[in-house]
Structure formats: structure tokens, C-alpha cells
């Protein structure tokens, strides 16, 4: 399995387990990076060592390599492909285009789903029209605001090994692998920093050690 296939299958798997209808809809590139297949949570499954490795695979995927996805607008896809062919790809190009969307191609999608091919061809469920209640026989004082249950908070997990963390206390280090769970930020552009970095990969600013 190539690194592109591994990334594509992880993308399909994460969507199939959380929101299968999105398998057939255009996916904003920013959603893929930050919520569907974020680097910190998926890097072990993707077998990438650094955020640069992650972004290079994502750049190749969006450039149309191996025909796994369709990227729009075409201008962005062509620019991504140009950088992929370069001897020193500029990974910042992923952040320079607004409104870039990626659509999963049907044949690779069906193959990635494996024993669940029905998800590959089932169209997304339409949004139901809200039914209007019959208010003709309802007294004015019978109206009341419905109680809306808050969605459950997701269980916290380690940013490195994925192990479950205690949810009832502040966690600074993972009890499973010992990694620091505190996210550092670049003092200039506020991008997330990896442990041990001396410079920000987004703006190049020097990062104080310790």
C-alpha cells in the first residue's frame, strides 16, 4: 500500500465512522487537515514522522496523484501538481488557496470501503422538511420551550499514542507514553508547534527553548 492509498483509506474510514453522507460530498481542504484527518491524531496510522511529511502526502493527494480524488478549482489542483513535480515543494501552497474542495472518486471509494460497499453508492440522506404542528386547538399557555440535550463531551485521548486520558482532571502528560499534552504556539503566528522545534514551520519565527 502506498502512502497516498494509506492516507485516502484513513480519510474514508474516518468519514464512514462519523458521517457517511459526507463520503459523497465535496470536502473542504481545511476540514481534511483540521477535523477529518488531523495530523496529530492520525500520524501513527498514516506512518508519517513529521507534519511536513503529512502535508506532502496531502499535497500529492490533492494534486490528483493516483486518481483518488477530484480537486476543485482546477487552478488550485494544477498549482498543487506543479509543486509536487518540484525538487523542493512549497508546502505553504496548501494554505494559499481559499475554497478548495476535494471529492472522493467512486471507484477508489468503493475499494476502500471493502465489505461495506453500500456506503459507496448510497446517496446522502436529504434533509427532512420540518412538520408544522396544528395549533388550532392549543391554548396559548400550553406553549413551552423544548429542552435541548447537550451533546456528550468526547473522551480525551493522547495526542501521540491515542490512549484514553482521564476526563475529570487536568492532564499535562500521557499516563501511557509519557508525552507532554500541552500544545505550544508560535509567538508570532500562533501556529501549533511540535515538541523540540526551534523555529515555526509556518512563519519561520524562532521559538524559545524550554
Q: Cβ of 8: how many Cβ atoms within 10 Å?
A: 24
Q: Say whether pLDDT at 126 is over 80.
A: no
CA proximity to 107, closest of 71, 72, 68: 68
Q: What is the largest CA-CA distance in the chain?
A: 74
Per-residue pLDDT at 177: 76
Q: Say whether pLDDT at 100 is over 80.
A: yes
Alpha carbon dihedral 47, 53, 56, 60, in 10-degree steps, equals: -20
CA proximity to 64, closest of 23, 105, 11, 3: 105
CA proximity to 19, closest of 41, 43, 35, 6: 35
Q: Say whether pLDDT at 103 is over 90.
A: yes
Per-residue pLDDT at 210: 47
- Beta-bridge mates of residue 210: none
Per-residue pLDDT at 187: 76
Distance CA 195, CA 55 (A): 18
The DSSP secondary-structure symbol of 180 reads B
Burial of 129 (0-12, 13-18, 19+ CB in 10 A): exposed
Residue ranges of the domains in the chain?
3-121, 155-210
Distance CA 44, CA 14 (A): 14
- pTM listed for this prediction: 0.55
Per-residue pLDDT at 131: 64
22-69 pLDDT per residue, tens:
999 999 999 999 999 999 999 999 999 999 999 999 999 999 999 999
Q: 68-72, 92-96, 171-175: which has the minimum mean pLDDT?
A: 171-175
Q: Where are the alpha helices (DSSP H) in the chain?
A: 3-18, 29-31, 39-46, 51-62, 74-85, 106-113, 118-121
Q: 2-16, 54-68, 94-108, 128-142: which has the minimum mean pLDDT?
A: 128-142
Q: Say whether pLDDT at 18 is over 80.
A: yes
CA angle 71, 72, 75 (to 5 degrees): 105
Pairing between β-strand 184-185 and β-strand 27-28 as defined by DSSP bridges: unpaired
Amino acid at each position: 500500500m502506498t502512502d497516498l492509498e494509506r492516507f485516502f483509506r484513513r480519510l474514508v474510514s474516518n468519514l464512514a465512522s462519523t458521517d457517511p453522507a459526507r463520503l459523497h460530498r465535496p470536502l473542504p481542504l481545511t476540514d481534511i487537515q483540521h477535523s477529518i484527518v488531523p495530523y496529530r491524531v492520525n500520524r501513527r496510522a498514516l506512518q508519517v514522522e513529521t507534519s511536513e511529511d503529512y502535508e506532502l502526502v496531502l499535497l500529492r493527494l490533492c494534486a490528483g496523484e493516483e486518481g483518488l480524488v477530484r480537486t476543485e478549482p482546477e487552478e488550485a489542483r494544477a498549482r498543487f501538481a506543479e509543486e509536487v513535480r518540484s525538487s523542493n515543494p512549497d508546502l505553504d501552497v496548501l494554505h494559499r488557496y481559499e475554497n478548495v474542495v476535494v471529492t472522493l472518486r467512486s471507484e477508489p471509494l468503493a475499494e476502500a470501503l471493502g465489505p461495506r460497499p453500500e456506503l459507496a453508492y448510497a446517496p446522502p440522506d436529504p434533509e427532512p422538511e420540518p412538520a408544522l404542528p396544528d395549533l388550532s386547538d392549543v391554548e396559548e399557555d400550553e406553549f413551552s420551550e423544548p429542552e435541548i440535550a447537550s451533546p456528550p463531551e468526547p473522551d480525551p485521548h493522547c495526542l501521540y499514542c491515542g490512549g484514553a486520558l482521564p476526563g475529570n482532571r487536568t492532564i499535562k502528560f500521557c499516563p501511557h507514553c509519557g508525552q507532554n499534552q500541552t500544545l505550544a504556539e508560535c509567538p508570532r503566528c500562533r501556529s501549533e508547534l511540535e515538541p523540540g522545534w526551534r523555529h515555526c514551520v509556518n512563519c519561520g519565527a524562532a521559538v524559545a527553548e524550554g
